[in-house]
Structure 1
């Protein structure tokens, strides 16, 4: 910038004004400065440096531990991000989607180097290295989970995960189901599909799976089914293919469960795929429940827990970009609803 100023015979601040405050200069002087800049190979002030000087970048970093394509293909993620984007647009703010690498050092570096005004934590396990890196930045953070409910400074827009599955479990228990299987991702940190045995749901390292499994545990304990009697299968990822493979771990053994409960609709749809492959009828031979109520759940006749993904994204954006003064209003718990469809029915041996 100083080189351009010397070439034109003006001050450095005048060159800066040509780019950032054009109303302060005559059109002729601005064009003279731009001509000199082009001739000298100067492209203008660095956008990142300029935004840091202003104290506002105009971007939200969205953290999730999946591939970038997940943000555009997972129906629940699409709805959440749409809601977040709608609010961001009202504040002239963009979204920086940050799929974090499995390599802990690389993930932490990505968070440390992100030029953003704050972070929205969409899907990030408790143990992920990005959690600590994010806290070191001391930027505003809003989460889609209420894991920090005990911290009065925490911001989140969430649901009561355990209460939602408690209601779903009680519904199935009333239908006579006692042989139960649960399918979730991140029951263990390893990304692999296999049966697992945990002493209790509280030992599961991922918040969402932990809370949803705990709700089901409590529901069936009320009718005498203890946690060790419930089969749990870890899915390698939140996908239909992984869930179909996970379902085979319990469907191909005797006695098979009368109900399979999945912690997401994507996993539940994979369970339905596994049933169809075996000629089993959802809601008659095996009942299936999902979670989220994505559009495909209606088409498949899937009983599920509905949560407001779009509204969750909108309010998460508002908590970052226009937070209320009252700290209590920065912790939002949205309602859920059990939506009963054809994939559930009385236990076949009830």
Structure 2
């Protein structure tokens, strides 16, 4: 059987080759009835469409965007926060017809996805600007949008109002009357010679912003907090940090936590020590993940809108790609996602001395 081409279909329908091409690549140029006729003829002839690689070469675009993750793909999909973000990104990109390519931070057998996979731009999710995979994306001169991480030059960013969220949590504890307050957080700076786990990369920026908000607010209220930093927002680090901050000689009456996961570890450590939450210890998380609502007592936490963050990131990236295709200079923008405090059952006034 001879090879079916666009001209074969054009001859069958009685239209030009360009009209057939438009039916696949520019459907807005045809009436709905004409497009259905052409696609029906193509299906009858066994034609599945133009070769994607050839079409990408002709257009100078791949029709795909990357999402660079700090951890393995399997781990990312188990994270409800990341899953909510990915879902919002996919929903926002759906009308554009662009595909989403997930880029792991690690490489295998010499392949570096950030270097090798064709894409028109990328979202950098939680990665520091000096992360090796980010360096490859920058060297490729792709349009980039940084999410939850400090951006590089000429790249847009989508960030939570981290300091404001931290201030809300700290002020809540001060208003309840707490004066012995601890902070359990990620490393805001990396110790010399310490190589972080890929899942922790990029957290320094967020940790610094939150710590500034907590400390400034507490010190303005006359409180000097006890700060405990851990290297990773995962076990066993969070549990070790939680036990350490509660086992010290000056046990706090309340703890502000970098994440809901850390807050859960503090609640569990308190239970092991025979402390009741919130009667003996108040706990504040950050994120308002599903864990915050499942925890008992339900967790007071700083709420972030994952859907708004994902949609803002996708919109910023499509805008950057459009400027790039038009030959226009980058116009980096910073999008701040508002946060608010959700007060639940894990906080209460301190017990009388």
Secondary structure of the equivalent of 1:183?
strand
> Structure 2 stretches of 5 or more lacking a match?
14-41, 324-328
Corresponding residue for 2:61? Answer: 56
Q: How far apart, in 2, do the equivalents of 1:349 and 1:306 lie?
A: 30
What root-mean-square deviation, in Å, do the aligned CA atoms of Structure 1 and Structure 2 show? 3.6
Corresponding residue for 2:167? Answer: 166
Q: Does 1:288 align with 2:287?
A: no
Secondary structure of the equivalent of 1:214?
helix
Among residues 113, 117, 133, which one is paired with 1:114 in the alignment? Answer: 117
Corresponding residue for 1:320? Answer: 317
For the 8 Å contact 2:104–2:113, the answer to whether it is kept is no
Corresponding residue for 2:350? Answer: 347
For the 8 Å contact 2:145–2:151, the answer to whether it is kept is no
Corresponding residue for 2:23? Answer: none
For the 8 Å contact 1:119–1:141, the answer to whether it is kept is yes
Task: Compare 86-95 and 211-220 and name the one that shifted more.
Answer: 86-95
Corresponding residue for 2:138? Answer: 135
User: How high is the TM-score relative to the length of structure 2?
Assistant: 0.75
For the 8 Å contact 1:240–1:270, the answer to whether it is kept is no
Task: Compare 125-134 and 157-166 and name the one that shifted more.
Answer: 125-134
Deviation at 1:330? 4.0
Secondary structure of the equivalent of 1:290?
strand
Corresponding residue for 1:74? Answer: 79
Deviation at 1:239? 3.1
Give CA deviations for 1:155-176 in whole Å, capped at 9, x if unaligned: 2222211121012111112223
Q: How far apart, in 1, do the equivalents of 2:304 and 2:252 lie?
A: 26
Deviation at 1:281? 1.7
Corresponding residue for 2:209? Answer: 211
Q: How far apart, in 2, do the equivalents of 1:289 and 1:327 lie?
A: 40
For the 8 Å contact 2:278–2:347, the answer to whether it is kept is yes
Deviation at 1:186? 4.1
Deviation at 1:154? 3.3
Corresponding residue for 1:306? Answer: 303
Corresponding residue for 1:23? Answer: 9
Corresponding residue for 2:157? Answer: 156
Q: How far apart, in 2, do the equivalents of 1:160 and 1:250 lie?
A: 26
Give CA deviations for 1:39-91 in whole Å, capped at 9, x if unaligned: xxxxx987446424322222221112112123211111111111001012121
Q: Residues 134 and 256 of structure 1: is their aligned pair in 2 closer, same or farther, counting only changes over 3 Å?
A: same
> Structure 1 stretches of 5 or more lacking a match?
1-6, 9-14, 36-43, 194-203
Q: Residues 79 and 34 of structure 1: is their aligned pair in 2 closer, same or farther, counting only changes over 3 Å?
A: closer
Deviation at 1:289? 1.0
Give CA deviations for 1:191-214 in whole Å, capped at 9, x if unaligned: 789xxxxxxxxxx97111111111
Secondary structure of the equivalent of 1:206?
helix
Among residues 325, 337, 341, which one is paired with 2:340 in the alignment? Answer: 337
Q: Does 1:231 align with 2:236?
A: no
Q: Residues 57 and 328 of structure 1: is their aligned pair in 2 closer, same or farther, counting only changes over 3 Å?
A: closer
Q: How far apart, in 1, do the equivalents of 2:175 and 2:110 lie?
A: 49
Q: How far apart, in 2, do the equivalents of 1:21 and 1:165 lie?
A: 63
Q: How far apart, in 1, do the equivalents of 2:319 and 2:257 lie?
A: 35
Q: How far apart, in 2, do the equivalents of 1:280 and 1:52 lie?
A: 64
